Amino acid sequence: MASVSRYDIRDIGLAPEGVRRIEWADRQMPVLRAIRDRFARDRPLAGLRIAACLHVTTETANLMRTLQAGGADVLLCGSNPLSTQDETAAALVAEYGIPTFAIRGEDHDSYYAHIEAACDHRPQLTMDDGADVIGVLHSARREQLGTVIAGTEETTTGVLRLKALEREGKLAFPVIAVNEAQTKHLFDNRYGTGQSTLDAIMRSTNTLIAGTRFVVAGYGWCGRGVALRARGMGAQVIVTEVEPVKALEAVMDGFAVMPMLEAASIGDIFVTATGDKHVLAGRHLELLKDGAIIANTGHFNVEIELPALRALAVSSRTVRPSVEEFVLADGRTVYLLAEGRLVNLGAAEGHPATVMDMSFSNQALSAEYAVRNASSLERRVYAVPAEIDREIARVKLATMGVEIDRLTAEQELYLASWDEGT
Ligand code: ADE
């Protein structure tokens, strides 16, 4: 058993349960496991200080073990106050010797104190999910920017923030946008968010999805996944969008598409997945049916206008774990899940390990790539190299026992030519 002195977690006594759960997830993360084995041999991250700010889950624990196997001196803090699995945090500290700063349900001050602890690690590589560490380094900790070689970013919202920083010419080091890898967003955002969001709604409410009018705000990869799975459960799915091409795609995928002002008075269950703020705003909340369930699966808790909900309510109480009932002035009730934070991690366990296997393989290989290529990378947001993406897909398929065809020499020649026609 390893041990560390720096940490802030709920209860170190939870470690044995955390270890069992981390091992369970690891069984479903064969690609990451293979990378860990290679990292243990090659030590590509030897001596590198990494500050990771990620959801503290069993899957993240296996990524931390992989970075550690590669020789990194890694510290982890949570990337959301409500997503931490306390037993995982305990195991990281007690069993794997990884300084961890995260407590499920922590308040704003504790959350930011933990980000500060990550910065105190004086990272040479940052690994964010939502760009919070990079945000602090670029504002309150600017004197540390020169120490950082590169960063990686896990999620759509974080990549948007980093691209804004880049546009303003203020990004101080290169960042690899892991979210942009196909083996990340096509699977994690779509199938991971799709399944875990439905899982969270069902775990917290035990409501029957079949026959409900289920409103999905946003038809990006996450929204598509939620809409697909809700339809699979028998819901009548309504999509709201602001982007015409995505809206058109939703229409042709067979979903009803309408403005939120129209959907608000029809829906039974609402899930926001846009990355934007006030998608379910006060003017929508006023129209909700009695008993409506509202949840957010986007990164930040700004998609539902919570101050407006509180202002409309005459009382509120917790009626089940992760379910808060708001009674409005006219007697209608509205049920808010997971405080409007990302419901799939707040009220369930986040994406299953099988998809996080690919997301976190991208993280590990992007960290290695960034360190190897540090001298040639500029202060920009980079996509994950296509070769990493393809390699992860190749290995994932192999671990699933799926074989695919190869181009013949004749086919390769044909694809590379322009003069063979009808
Ligand atoms: N984001 C979504 N699901 C996750 C998980 N299981 N672990 C870490 N980050 C996640």
For residue range 165-206, list pLDDT tens digits in order.
999 999 999 999 999 999 999 999 999 999 999 999 999 999
pLDDT score at 32:
98
Nearest-CA neighbor of 285 among 313, 259, 258, 257? 313
Same domain, 167 and 93: yes
Question: 154 CB less than 6 Å from ligand 1?
Answer: no
Atom of ligand 1 nearest to the CA of 57: 7
Same domain, 206 and 235: yes
* Cα gap 240→162, rounded to integer Å: 26
pLDDT score at 420:
86
Question: Would you say 313 and 335 are in contact if contact means Cβ atoms under 8 Å apart?
Answer: no
Question: 356 CB less than 6 Å from ligand 1?
Answer: yes
CATH number of domain containing 389? 3.40.50.1480
* Cα gap 175→173, rounded to integer Å: 6
Question: 178 CB less than 6 Å from ligand 1?
Answer: no
Strand pairing of 100-101 and 73-78?
Answer: parallel
Please count the other Cβ atoms lying within 10 Å of the Cβ belonging to residue 112: 16
Same domain, 373 and 327: no
pLDDT score at 175:
98
Give Dmax (Cα) for the chain.
73
- Please list, in sequence order, all residues whose beta carbon lies within 8 angstroms of the beta carbon of residue 142, skipping any fewer than 6 positions away: none
Three-class secondary structure of residue 311 per DSSP:
helix
Same domain, 110 and 33: yes
Mean of the pLDDT values across residues 45-74?
98
Tokens 């290529």 correspond to 373
How many Å lie between the centroid of ligand 1 and the Cα of residue 307?
27
Q: In this structure, is residue 156 part of a structural domain?
A: yes
How many Å lie between the centroid of ligand 1 and the Cα of residue 356?
7
Question: 55 CB less than 6 Å from ligand 1?
Answer: yes
pLDDT score at 136:
97
Q: In this structure, is residue 416 part of a structural domain?
A: no
How many Å lie between the centroid of ligand 1 and the Cα of residue 265?
32
Mean of the pLDDT values across residues 32-50?
98
Residue 388 has pLDDT above 90, yes or no: yes
pLDDT score at 5:
82
Mean of the pLDDT values across residues 267-273?
98
Q: In this structure, is residue 406 part of a structural domain?
A: no
Mean of the pLDDT values across residues 307-324?
98
Question: 60 CB less than 6 Å from ligand 1?
Answer: yes
Number of domains the chain is built from: 2
Same domain, 388 and 290: no
* Cα gap 157→159, rounded to integer Å: 5
Q: Which residue range is the domain that position 19 belongs to?
A: 12-184+351-399
Residue 2 has pLDDT above 80, yes or no: no
* Cα gap 158→135, rounded to integer Å: 10
* Cα gap 220→241, rounded to integer Å: 9
How many Å lie between the centroid of ligand 1 and the Cα of residue 60?
7
Mean of the pLDDT values across residues 31-38?
98
Q: In this structure, is residue 4 part of a structural domain?
A: no
Same domain, 280 and 328: yes
Same domain, 219 and 282: yes
How many Å lie between the centroid of ligand 1 and the Cα of residue 382?
22
Mean of the pLDDT values across residues 130-150?
97
Q: For 411, phi and psi rounded to 5 degrees?
A: -70, -40
Give 408's pLDDT tier (boundaries 50, 70, 90): very high
Residue 157 has pLDDT above 90, yes or no: yes
Question: 351 CB less than 6 Å from ligand 1?
Answer: yes
Please identify, among 306, 321, 346, the residue that sits at the C-terminal boundary of a domain: 346
Q: In this structure, is residue 36 part of a structural domain?
A: yes
Question: 199 CB less than 6 Å from ligand 1?
Answer: no
Same domain, 210 and 304: yes
* Cα gap 347→355, rounded to integer Å: 19
CATH number of domain containing 338? 3.40.50.720
Give 280: exposed, middle or buried? Use CB within 10 Å, 0-12, 13-18, 19+: buried
Question: What type of residue is 422?
Answer: T
The residue contributing the CA closest to ligand 1 atom 8 is: 55
Same domain, 236 and 161: no
Question: Would you say 118 and 51 are in contact if contact means Cβ atoms under 8 Å apart?
Answer: yes
Same domain, 76 and 123: yes
Question: Would you say 365 and 388 are in contact if contact means Cβ atoms under 8 Å apart?
Answer: yes
Per-residue pLDDT of 359-384, as tens digits, reads: 999 999 999 999 999 999 999 999 99
- Please list, in sequence order, all residues whose beta carbon lies within 8 angstroms of the beta carbon of residue 349, skipping any fewer than 6 positions away: 57, 58, 85, 196, 199
Burial readout 207-223 (b: 16 or more C-beta within 10 A, e: otherwise): eebeebbbbbbbbbbbb
pLDDT score at 3:
56
Alpha-helical segments (H) within 220-305: 221-232, 244-252, 260-263, 282-285
Tokens 């009808």 correspond to 422
Residue 388's alpha-carbon distances to 155, 359, 361, in angstroms, are: 18, 11, 9
Q: For 192, phi and psi rounded to 5 degrees?
A: -65, -55
Q: In this structure, is residue 404 part of a structural domain?
A: no
Q: Name the average pLDDT for the chain.
A: 97
Per-residue pLDDT of 346-361, as tens digits, reads: 999 999 999 999 999 9
- Written as six digits, the tokens of 251 are 């229409």
Q: For 166, phi and psi rounded to 5 degrees?
A: -65, -45
Above pLDDT 70, what percent of the chain?
Answer: 99
How many Å lie between the centroid of ligand 1 and the Cα of residue 112?
20
Same domain, 388 and 303: no
Q: In this structure, is residue 131 part of a structural domain?
A: yes
- Written as six digits, the tokens of 86 are 């306390």
Q: In this structure, is residue 421 part of a structural domain?
A: no
pLDDT score at 421:
82
Same domain, 107 and 231: no
